[in-house]
Amino acid sequence: MILGRIAAAVLLILAGFASQTRADEAAAFLEVVRGRIATLPEVPPSAEAGSPKFTVVRLNVVPIMTAGERYGAIRVTLPPDKPLSLAWLFSDTTNIDEYGMVSREGVRLENEFTRFIFPATANADPEQELAGRRASSLPRPWDLFQLHVLGVPARLLKPGGEYVVWFRFSDRRPTDMLFAVAFVDPAMKLEAPNLPPIFALPPLGAP
């Protein structure tokens, strides 16, 4: 029994070390990426909700390397004149292990997102296409991809602030990703049913 307790204590200590190491690596990466914020590709916002401006960015070509991990990032800048909430989406490319968002000042926001997965709005096989499926605003081939759709409330954002959206990649593939960004009225509830119309996507659950 004593040996069992010792073994359990050792495992807890090792787990603590591993957790601290991951936290240190994450902090090191965020420090590096914040220092490069001016060099990151900036995703331009849509002119208004319902008229999305889609942008394709190639990441993971010359990655940001930290502790052997491959990262890429984009930049989003809020309008300076008034508080606004942020809605954004990106395509699921299957090789993203983790993603998040951090301000230029170092405030991490990934725990504050509204986020959900939006299913592909088309099928590559015409015979499998759903009859009556509503068309989306997505250009081919991006209508074949699942999307991550997210919202960040205005209370967490600073007018004129710069924010980094970062990704940790699982492999070495150069990766084209579709993005769209929109700034919306702070009074809007950033709930899953309200976000798709911002990007002219069909309602959740629609055929």
- Is position 88 within any domain? yes
Residue 140 lies in a domain: yes
Q: Among the residues of the chain, which ranges form H helices?
A: 2-35
In a domain, residue 143? The reply is yes
Domain total in the chain: 1
Task: Flag whether 207 is in a domain.
Answer: no
From first to last of its 207 residues, what are the pLDDT tens digits of the chain? 565 555 554 444 443 433 444 556 667 777 887 888 889 999 999 988 889 999 999 999 999 998 899 999 999 999 999 999 999 999 999 999 999 999 999 889 988 889 999 999 888 776 655 554 556 789 889 999 999 999 999 999 999 999 999 999 999 999 999 999 999 999 999 999 999 999 999 987 765
Tell me if residue 93 falls in helix, strand or coil: coil
* Residue span of the structural domain in which 36 resides: 2-199
Q: Is residue 57 part of a domain?
A: yes
* 206 belongs to a structural domain: no
- Tell me whether the omega of the peptide bond preceding residue 41 falls within 30 degrees of 0, making it cis: no
- The reply to whether 55 falls in a domain is yes
